[in-house]
Chains A and B, each alone.
Chain A
């Protein structure tokens, strides 16, 4: 093996380089301190949260702080990202956005999030709607996140289709039709049956969203407030399930694929006339209608009513993982990004409905926007503010999302596709519950 000096050097360099590559591959992520005391804060968000301009503003106001934002396309992918890093114990950012649907998972490891009360949490979150703070408080009373937005649910309906079916179509009459402040699911399905009998068309897109709302608006859902699993023999849930099953059997569900809706086509071809609408969903409705080639004339409107009382679906918190090297600065940034001014700006940029009452009352939120224009000039901001009143922060057990998606998901689809009737589908759900969730 005769090697020239050159070759030996090259081999040594190559060997060293490969080792160095391995070493550096594992050392990225986390926050870094600059040379002259500058602080870099990493922020991970998802979807469209409308925070980009706020980062620039914060950097300008706070010399020495650099923000390195990462935005992940969807909440689902962001959940996978967070879970992976949480499980690995490294790579988490200084400020992590957490979605309401993850709370059952987040609260299992709530001690890996900084207690914001150590950094003025009570004061910074004073303007938040109270149930938002309750959601972000763990069993030990630690506040682990500031709310950025909430998802109070109203009812989207198609005025043109209502009119064609001989139903009232203006916002106030529709709200009254479903019972106004005392709207019940019984009334909702009753109106739906009238509509379906008259037109032969479905009333809502699919049963999944309806079931979500039915469960999430209860004071206690799949778990009791003290953390006991409470599905089997839960008469409240069974009664609501029976309503849902009857509705599907009567043809009220269009059995659409959720989050697909035929690329939005189902929103403009009259497949269904009502739709469960949390604040952030309004943008989705608009996007779907436009994707299918429709516009404001497609007839969609937004009523200040929701069956079964106030309900919330979704909304996000900004948290500070304990792995952050600058928890104080990170908590300050999170407080800034969730302040009233920031929430108004985020609403205007991305349509996320504010979680602070002060921002909800701000003219920038209650006034006109592209959304009000699309929804037949409905005062969207005002309606959502009114829908946010009376929401309860339901206790989410560790397997809440598993029960929602994996236990009831298949059964809801069985109802919609007519594969099983109500009691059979319920039994299937209980079977799955016993199989998937450790009692």
Chain B
């Protein structure tokens, strides 16, 4: 780091210097400049990111909070300062809780089957199968399709009167399901869309984690007689736990912000999210508040509440992964301590055996051959 420092002025080559003073000034200036360079440059190099983050991340966050404190109409602009009234109003608004219920319902209906399926697919892909690349590419394929296209297709499939699913159901003599106007069916339909898109993506992430599990553990477990299922649950799953946490948390954050699928599931609906708000998720509710009801202040308040919920999940993630990490450390140090203890006992036994032999060095500990030199004091080494 110090190499950019200019040499001190005294040792500077006595170059032709008609007037000594300017030269001294210049070198003084250069020294200052280089000190400045040394101290400040790193901040300038990282500045673009932070300027961008401030503009597109931090500023909107703070501004949204400011908006949420006002009775702010989207078109006519800020009205009265109402403090936290918007938050209070929304926390008692049944439509807000309805949206939160829908969000979590769709999230659970999508995340749980999705993760189970992803783990199973990853486990299958982790086997020694033919045409690996083909299979891996196939599972990621739905992820490439834009969510809008996915939703339009599924929206058609789940049409109530002319949709494919209901056609099949009525053909085999079952009652058609009201996919777009009843709560649970609509949640299931949206969850299916989400799963179709994200299962393969998560499967690939889990697959990468599975491939990092050392094969020799599997082999030794197999030698000990553990079957494939036992090995999967006792070796694979515990080994990919950190990745699982990552996948769960990203799925949670994505799930809490679900918008496109419910928005376009019935695109022409006068209320976004179903005629009686059966699948109006929280983000959709924010959009509805801001752009249909012009309640910009309340929409901002809900946006902040959602932000806090997501942060809470982020902290949960942090806590969980720390617990797992420290749990692992604890396990490791325990194992190491045990091994060390065993090692020491063996040494003791060995020494006892040695000292029992006549002519052997007395058990002084000064010249225990098994100790590493580095652990000995110079005197001991000399001895």
Contact = CB atoms under 8 A, between A and B. Distances in A.
Interface of A: 1-3, 11, 14-15, 18-19, 22, 79-80, 83, 86-87, 105, 108-109, 208, 255-260, 262-263, 265-266, 401-402, 404-406, 409-410, 413-414, 417, 435-436
A259 B268 contact: yes
Given A87-B74, A405-B292, A1 B270 contact: no
B364 interface: no
Contacts of B94: 435
Interface stretch (B129-137, B157-165, B329-337): B157-165
Interface residues of B, number: 43
Contact of A402 (B45, B52, B162, B292): B292
Nearest to B268: A259
A83 B275 contact: no
Interface centre among A1, A3, A255, A256 (most CB of B within 10 A): A1
B140 to A, nearest CB: 30
B268 A405 contact: no
A386 to B, nearest CB: 30
Contact of B75 (A105, A266, A409, A436): A105
Q: Which 6 A-B pairs have the closest CB atoms?
A: A262-B162, A259-B268, A405-B270, A413-B275, A409-B270, A18-B48
Interface in B116-169: 156, 159-162
A410 B276 contact: yes
A19 B44 CA distance: 12
Contacts of A18: 48, 51-52
A262 B161 contact: yes
Contacts of B377: none
Contacts of B156: 263
Given A15-B44, A257-B266, 20 more contacts: A1-B41, A2-B3, A2-B4, A3-B4, A15-B48, A19-B51, A22-B52, A79-B291, A83-B75, A86-B75, A109-B76, A257-B159, A260-B159, A260-B266, A263-B162, A265-B162, A266-B162, A405-B271, A410-B277, A414-B275
Contacts of B42: 1
Contacts of B161: 255-257, 262, 266
Contacts, number: 94
8 contacts: A1-B42, A15-B47, A15-B48, A83-B291, A105-B294, A260-B159, A404-B270, A435-B93
B32 interface: no
A98 B179 CA distance: 34
Nearest to B48: A18
A257 B52 CA distance: 44
Contacts of B77: 87
B321 interface: no
B271 A410 contact: yes
B311 interface: no
A255 B178 CA distance: 12
A208 B275 CA distance: 11
Contact of A11 (B45, B93, B267, B293): B45
B279 interface: no
Given A87-B74, A105-B75, A105-B294, A262 B271 contact: no
Contacts of B291: 79-80, 83
Interface in B227-261: none
B159 to A, nearest CB: 6
B197 interface: no
B55 interface: yes
